[in-house]
Amino acid sequence: MARKSSGMQQASISEFFEKNKHFLGFDTLPRSIITAVKESVDNSLDAAEEHRILPTISIEVHKVPGKKDLLRLVTQDNGPGIPQKSISKVFGSLLFGSRFHTIRQTRGQQGIGITGVVMYSQLTTGKPTAVISKIAKESGAVRVNIGLDTKKNKAILSNEKRYSFDEVNEAKGLHWIGEHGIRIETLMKAKYQRGKQSVYQYLKMTSIVNPHASVDFKAFDEEGNILDEGSWPRVTDELPRPVKDIKPHPHGLEIGTLQRLLRDAKIPSEGSGANSALRYFIRHTFSSVSSTRAEEILNKAGLDKKKQPHLLKPDDVNDLLAAFSKVKLPAPPTDCLSPIEDLLIKKGLSKAIDSRFVSTVTREPKVSNGNPFQVEVGLIFGGDLPGDQPIQVLRFANRVPLMYQQGGCLLTKALESVNWKSYGLDHPGGRGIPKGPAAVLIHLASTNVQFTSEAKEALSDNVDVFEEIRLAMLEVGRGLRNHLKKQKQKAKAQEKFELVNIILPEIHDKTIAILGAEAVPLAPVITKIMNAVFLEEKVEWDKEEKVTRTTIEVYNYTARPRAYTLLSTWPEREGVSMVDNPLGGRREAKGLWAWKLETLDPGTSTTVSFTVGGLSKGDWTEIDIFFRGAGDIIGATKIDEAILAEMLREEDVGIENEDVIEEASTETDDLVTEEIVAPEVIIKAEVEEASEPNEGWFGVGRGEEE
C-alpha cells in the first residue's frame, strides 16, 4: 500500500532555528542577552580588523519600564559599515556570510549569529530590529527596520530611510554614528544579571584578548540609572596580523568532502592541466602538495593522472583518500592564524586583572587532522585575586570568550590534567580546578574549532589540542614556580639582611660602650653572617623618553671574591632595540643578552643597566635573570647550557629554512621551488615533534613535571 506523503513538507533553515533557538545560545533569559551582545561584538571586531580599522565599540543594555525581563540592546561600532543593498542579507538571512567556505581563523563562520539575534528579538517581542549603517564613501547614513520571514529565510524590510547629518532626529531613531560604522537597536525577552556569567564579564574577557579594541559598556535600570558600567580602552595600536585563506590539507579530509571537491573540480581545457586532469586537481586543490607528491599519491592509489576528477568511482575515491595518508606531506601554511602573542596577552591581562606576576606562552603552530591550530596560555598571580577560592579560568576560541559549560570543555580538562601543587598552587588530590590567587587564560586559535554544540560554548575533545594545551600549562607553571621560589629566596635573604643590619650595630654600640673599646668595622662581619650573593632587578617605563629602563644590582655578601656572567631576557623582535647598554656584552641567543661582570670583592656590588626602545608602556614589565659562575645568586637561576645549545641549534635551523625559502622563491619553476622547500619543512617538523618541552626559559631540569 502506498504511503501518503501529503502531510510532509520541508522546513526552512529559519523555521528550524526558530523552533530550536537553544542551539544558538538563546535557551535561558540570562544567556540570551549575552549571546546577543556576543554576536554583535564578534561582527564588529571581525569587520574592523578585515578593513584594518582599530575597533571602537559601545554597548548599552536598557531595562524597559513596566516590562519584566524585557531589554533593549544598543550596540555601535566604527567599522566599515554595510552597503544598503547588503543589509537585508547580512541581518535577514541565516547561513549568509563570507567565511563558511574559507579556511582561516575567524570568530564566526556559519553566518547565523546576528540574524539569529534578529530572529530571537522578533520571536519574543514581535518587533523588528533597527539598523543604521554608514559607509565612508557615502555622505548619508541608512536606517532600516529588519524582520525575518522564517518560511523563506528572507528579510522583511520597513521604514527604510537614507538621511544626512542635517536630518538627524534621535526621537525618530535617526542617529549620526560618525564617518563609518553600524548601530543596532533591538528589543528582546532577556534578563540582565551580574556575576561571572554576565555581559560585563563577557566584555571584560573580550577586552583581554583584543587589546587593540576600545570597549565601553553601560547597563541602565527602568528609571535610567546606571546599574553597571565598564570601560576598557585599547592598550595597543597594533592590529592583529591579517590572516590568509589556505587550501584544505589532504590529511584532514573526510570522504564526503573529497567527493564534493572532485565533483566541483575545474580543469583547464588545454595545456598540461588538461592532459593530466587528476594530477592537476590534486596539485591545485590542496595545500602542501607539489607535482612530485601528487604523482606519488596517484601511484599509491593506482589511479591514472589523466582521469577526469568527476568521473572517479566510489572505490577510486576511497583509494585516493587512503593514498593521501600514506604520503609524507609538509604541514599546511600557518599564516591563516592570528595569535594574540605573549606581550599583548600580558598587557590584556594586566589591564583587566590586578596582579604581581604574569607568565605567558604562545606555542608554535601545530596541525591536527590537516587543520592548523595554535595554543596560547597566560597565568596571572597575586594582587587582588582571592587565595582561598578556585583560580579563575578564562577560556577563548579565536579570541571569543567561552562563558558556559566550563566543566565539559577541552580547555578545562587540559588545565585539570596538570598537578598544580608542583607549581605552588593548592591542588588537593591533584584533581579539578586548583585553588590560589591566580587566573589562567587559555586561547585556541584554529581554522576549524570543534565545539560541543552550535551555541559554541565549549570545545570538544581532541588529543592533539589537549596535549598542546597541557604542555603550555606546564611551561607557565614552571614560570610561576620559579617566580615563587625567587620571591621566597629574596624575602628570606632580605629579612636576614635587615635583622643583621639592625641588631648587630646595636649590639656593637652597646658592647663598646660597656667595654670602653674602639669601634670595629662591621662590614666584614655582616658579610660573613650573610654568606650569600643577592640580586635585585627593576624594570621601569620612562614616560618622558618613551623607553623601558632596566637595572640589575648584584651584591656579594660572602667572604671571598665572586666572578659571574649575567644573562637577562629582553623582548628581541622587529622594531625593538637596545638604545643604551653601557657594559656592552653580547647576544647569547634570541631574546637573551649576556654580560661578563668584573670580579666582585666581598662586601661590594655592581650594577648592570640597559634601555630598550621601540615599546609602548606596559609592553614589557618583567625579566628573567640567569648566571654562569661558582656559587648561587639569590634572585637568579643557573643557566642550563644544554637547553641553551638546543635553542641556538633551532634558531640556526630556522635561519637556514628562511634562506632556503628566499632562495627558492627566486626560481620561476614552481616544481623546483617546492622540491627545495618541502624537505626542509619536513625536517623542521620532525625536529619539533621529537624535541622535549623546555624548562621555562633555561631552568634546571628538562622533565615535564617534578
pLDDT, mean of each 10-residue run, the chain (706 residues): 51 52 70 88 89 94 92 94 86 55 55 75 89 91 88 83 90 90 93 88 89 93 92 88 79 80 81 76 84 88 86 88 85 78 74 71 82 88 82 88 86 91 85 88 86 78 90 89 79 74 83 85 74 86 92 88 92 89 91 92 91 85 86 84 73 53 39 34 35 35 34
The C-alpha cell of 324 is what?
593521501
The C-alpha cell of 217 is what?
559598556
Residue 430, phi-psi category: left (phi > 0), alpha (psi -120 to 50), beta (remainder): left
Spacing of C-alpha 484 from chain mean position = 25
Nearest one of 644, 653, 532, 541 to 594, comparing CA atoms? 644
Co-location of 64 and 144 in the same domain? yes
Q: Say if CB 279 and CB 267 are below 8 A apart.
A: no
Would residue 698 count as lying in a domain? no
SS3 for 673?
helix
Spatial separation of the C-alpha atoms in residues 123 and 121, rounded to whole Å: 5
Residue showing cell 660602650: 513
Would residue 700 count as lying in a domain? no
Co-location of 567 and 656 in the same domain? no
Co-location of 606 and 661 in the same domain? no
Spacing of C-alpha 416 from chain mean position = 20
In the prediction, which pLDDT does 331 show?
76
Number of Cα atoms under 13 Å in the Cβ half of residue 599: 4
Which helix (H) or strand (E) segment holds residue 123: the answer is: helix 113-125
Q: What is the pTM of this model?
A: 0.67
Beta bridge partners, 535, equal 554
Co-location of 264 and 360 in the same domain? no
pLDDT tens digits along 659-681: 443 443 333 333 333 333 333 33
Q: Say if CB 150 and CB 143 are below 8 A apart.
A: no
Show which of 272, 297, 326 is a domain's final residue: 326
Q: Say if CB 339 and CB 445 are below 8 A apart.
A: yes
Co-location of 52 and 197 in the same domain? yes
Nearest one of 402, 61, 56 to 215, comparing CA atoms? 56
Co-location of 597 and 647 in the same domain? no
The C-alpha cell of 62 is what?
536598557
Would residue 506 count as lying in a domain? no
Spatial separation of the C-alpha atoms in residues 279 and 496, rounded to whole Å: 75
What is the rounded radius of gyration, in angstroms, for the C-alpha atoms of the chain? 31
Sign of CA dihedral 193, 195, 200, 201: negative
Spatial separation of the C-alpha atoms in residues 150 and 21, rounded to whole Å: 13
Structural domains in the chain (count) = 5
- CATH number, residue 284: 1.10.8.50
Which amino acid does the sequence have at 195?
G
Would residue 695 count as lying in a domain? no
Spatial separation of the C-alpha atoms in residues 585 and 305, rounded to whole Å: 60
Co-location of 29 and 122 in the same domain? yes
Co-location of 311 and 409 in the same domain? no
Would residue 668 count as lying in a domain? yes
Would residue 555 count as lying in a domain? yes
Q: Which residues have a Cβ under 8 Å from the Cβ of 232 and sit 6 or more positions away? A: 203, 204, 207, 213, 214, 215, 216, 351, 352
Please count the residues of the chain.
706
DSSP structure string for 237-271: --PPPPP---PPPGGG--HHHHHHHHHT----SSS
In the prediction, which pLDDT does 515 show?
86
Co-location of 347 and 467 in the same domain? yes
pLDDT tens digits along 129-164: 999 999 998 989 999 999 888 777 778 888 989 999
Co-location of 274 and 413 in the same domain? no
Spatial separation of the C-alpha atoms in residues 430 and 477, rounded to whole Å: 14
Domain with 359, as residue range(s), is 342-482
DSSP structure string for 96-120: --SSTT--S--S--SS-HHHHHHHH
Would residue 333 count as lying in a domain? no
Helical segments of 516-622, H only:
523-530
Co-location of 194 and 287 in the same domain? no
Would residue 242 count as lying in a domain? no
For the chain, the farthest-separated pair of C-alpha atoms sits apart, in whole angstroms, at 125
Taking the alpha carbons at both ends of the chain, their separation in whole angstroms is: 73
In the prediction, which pLDDT does 687 show?
35
- What interhelical angle do 277-285 and 291-301 show, nearest 10? 120
- CATH number, residue 540: 2.60.40.1170
Beta bridge partners, 565, equal 596, 628
Which helix (H) or strand (E) segment holds residue 379: the answer is: strand 371-381
Co-location of 61 and 157 in the same domain? yes
Helical segments of 264-313, H only:
272-275, 277-285, 291-301
Q: Which residues have a Cβ under 8 Å from the Cβ of 500 and sit 6 or more positions away? A: 526, 529, 530
In the prediction, which pLDDT does 274 show?
65
- CATH number, residue 427: 3.30.230.10
In the prediction, which pLDDT does 109 show?
47
